[in-house]
Amino acid sequence: MARRSGTSRAGVRAKLEARVLSVTQKLTLEADKRLKLASPVDDGDFRAAWQAETPEKVYQSGHVSNNIEYAVPLANGHSPQAPAGWIENELIAVVKGS
């Protein structure tokens, strides 16, 4: 099989890794945005407490968290504004691209 000139395995690998990192960063930021928009709002503290950490290296995970003390009850549907499972639904939508 003939190789294309200028295309090495290392070059292809570097491009793929750059793409993986870019997609992971975009998905993390999209999850953060969607979770903020879908958050139930009383005084806005819960919505404002979301924090996103995008990966800096390929194959690292992105993280979105909310450390406000009542985050778990809200995640479990304690608010009539957001039923149980709303976080999972938003994350599924991010992965599906909808």
pLDDT at 2 over 80: no
Please compute the mean of the pLDDT values over residues 3-7 and round it to a whole number: 64
Interatomic CA distance for residues 63 and 54, integer angstroms: 7
Half-sphere exposure of 18 (CA within 13 A, CB side): 6
> Could you report the per-residue pLDDT of 38-58, keeping only the tens digit for each?
999 999 999 999 999 999 999
pTM, to two decimals: 0.87
Confidence of residue 7 (pLDDT cuts 50, 70, 90): confident
Q: Would you list the domain boundaries of the chain?
A: 9-96
What is the C-alpha to C-alpha distance for residues 62 and 20, in angstroms, rounded to an integer? 12
Give the percent of the chain with pLDDT over 90: 92
